[in-house]
Amino acid sequence: MLISLSHAGMEDMGVSTSRSSLERLEFDNVALKKLPLDPSTEPGVRQVRGACFSRVQPTPLKNPKFVAVSGPALALLGLDADEPAAHCYCGHQFGQFAGQLGDGAACYLGEVKAPVDQSPELLHENPTGRWEIQVKGAGLTPYSRQADGRKVLRSSIREFLCSEAVFALGVPTTRAGSVVTSDSRVMRDIYYDGTPRMERCSVVLRIAPSFIRFGSFEIFKRADEFTGRQGPSYGHDEIRTQMLDYVIETFYPEIHQNHSDRIERNTAFFREVTLRTARLVAQWQCVGFCHGVLNTDNMSILGLTLDYGPFGFMDRFDPDFICNASDTSGRYSYQAQPAICRWNLARLAEALVPDLPPDRAEQVLDEYLPLYNGFYLSNMRKKLGLLRMEEPEDEMLVTELMQTMHNTGTDFTNTFRSLSQISCPTQQEGEDESEVIKQATELLLQQCASLEELKAANRPTMDPRELAMLLSMAQSNPAVFQMISDRKTVARQLERLSRLKELMDTTAEQLRAKQTEDWSCWIKKYRQRLARECESGVDVTDLQKERVHVMNNNNPYVVLRNYIAQNAIEAAENGDLSEVQRVLKVLEKPFSVQEGLEKPGWVGRGGVADSEERDETGEEGNTSGAEARVLVPYDSKPPMWANEICVT
């Protein structure tokens, strides 16, 4: 499968395939040379002690077929490999130590030396000059637990598209070279509701300098005081030190060279991981991206976005946005991400003791929040076009913008994209400030939610009887309440109820008047701040051109909204792979309007899809009674059918 994948991928890029992929590529599998490999080849799921990798044998797919290929990602390497292995790691999942996890569906194929003509920027990002390649969904490993080591078409398409979309947004991430599907099938219960169905097995080719994560160091953890679980390699401290040396020497060579003292070196390493993590989550927040499962096993030691499961880009702005339907407590909500990343850094620090003394780690962790705030505010200034000066009130301007977006239910991506259309004050006599503010307000009102949309968004997600029971229990039996729920979850439900009651007493006209008032107030403050950019004899015309250029290169025109991904998935499941390829082209240039690619080429459920097409089970598609889908542009607010999408 992999050799044919290499030929097809390289031919798509116009590269000669006269030699096989294995002959063309130069492998240098440093990770397997420097870190212990499990000597056992015993098949099946098991605990792996004293090793960082296990040998595995990928299971072939039946009749594999390309869904899509990312030329820019494949250009990083060449392809293919001959030494499959799976990585052992642990992790804190939803706040609890889970013990051994590991690559349950991913196989390390090897490390490919980068082509000699690779750009200096890429080599700065990856100082090793090697790219680790993996296949995800290739079958059982010792870490598959109760699973089968397979991935299905829908999750593979989501990971493939989002990996490349996040890269194009300028956010550090692992990459995806291709996605392949097949005639092999596995049973999946998509919504965990007892109605499983057969789905196509699919494989994603993943690329990164390394897939080592925070949880890689937790395999040495002593017995956890809450769960009683311990890492499978507890007591093998020499391997932990060996892995730490490998990571620093290989991926942080400047730190290794600049520090002869090991404690100073390890502290500098942890400081750099902290900085990269703070910068990464600030970038997520500024494009409205939610990871969905920020467990320690999904946090990259290199500060990359890692493992795309139930991710989501926000549509209507909501600080409490939860993209993972399984996250009932909101632990990994949008606004929680910065604090969760710090919590995960603290778990990494614990895993590095005594190589990293706790007092030194705590000093570094104290730097996290100022670092995050600095990165976030710097990014936001670019998104708002505040280029010439940094003023103390900028933070409040951003805070008030986000509050206004929340109050009015505006679309996150489109609102920021619209701000470049609000011009700098010209200081000319003929300019009517009130008219400018009115026009700008009308522009942003187009992105506001309707009354019905806000009512739907604020309905409690908990059954009223259950909520009443929890409120009673919180008063009468706090100990039991603490075991089955938490005050934060209940408070969120009460807040929704309060907001819903307020909306029920509001008319559409009253809501629009309030939205108009809120936006007019903020735009007036924004224009006052822009006026200060024009002081000191600045040419306003030149400033406005520069400002629009910077803003339109920091505020994407399109992101991978759930409805865009879902439409592409359903097209592929109905045998039309062109929509995945079309979406990939759009996402590769997210800051630009690409002529001819403004709208999808496929839409399901009563839309342009042929009702005679068969679905993946071989049965005829049935669209009766289903809502006909409207062909909306990729930059559109989500259509009504998008509310049905549930990602777990």
Token digits for 256?
């290794």
Question: Would you call 297 a catalytic residue per the annotation?
Answer: yes
Contacts of 521 (CB under 8 A, 6+ apart): 404
Residue 474 · residue 490 · CB < 8 Å: yes
Please give the Cα distance from 219 to 52 (Å, whole number).
9
Strand 175-188 and strand 151-152: the pairing is unpaired
CA distances from 301 to 83, 88, 275 (A): 23, 15, 11
H-only helix segments in 409-486: 412-418, 433-445, 451-457, 464-476, 478-484
DSSP H or E segment with residue 37: strand 37-38
CB burial of residue 611 (10 Å; 0-12, 13-18, 19+): exposed
Token digits for 201?
């097995």
Give the active site residue among 38, 80, 103, 297: 297
Please give the Cα distance from 412 to 380 (Å, whole number).
13
Positive or negative, the Cα torsion across 468, 474, 480, 484? positive
CA distances from 504 to 331, 465, 468, 508, 645 (A): 29, 20, 21, 10, 25
Contacts of 495 (CB under 8 A, 6+ apart): none
CA distances from 120 to 76, 209, 308, 436 (A): 12, 15, 27, 45
The residue with tokens 């029971």 is 469
Residue 197: strand pairing partners: 188
Contacts of 558 (CB under 8 A, 6+ apart): 413, 564, 586, 587, 590, 634, 635
Q: Which of 215, 203, 174 is nearest to 306 (CA)?
A: 174
Token digits for 5?
């994948």
Please give the Cα distance from 612 to 95 (Å, whole number).
48
Strand 37-38 and strand 53-55: the pairing is parallel
Length of the chain: 648
The residue with tokens 């009683």 is 228
Question: Would you name the residues annotated as active-site residues?
Answer: 297
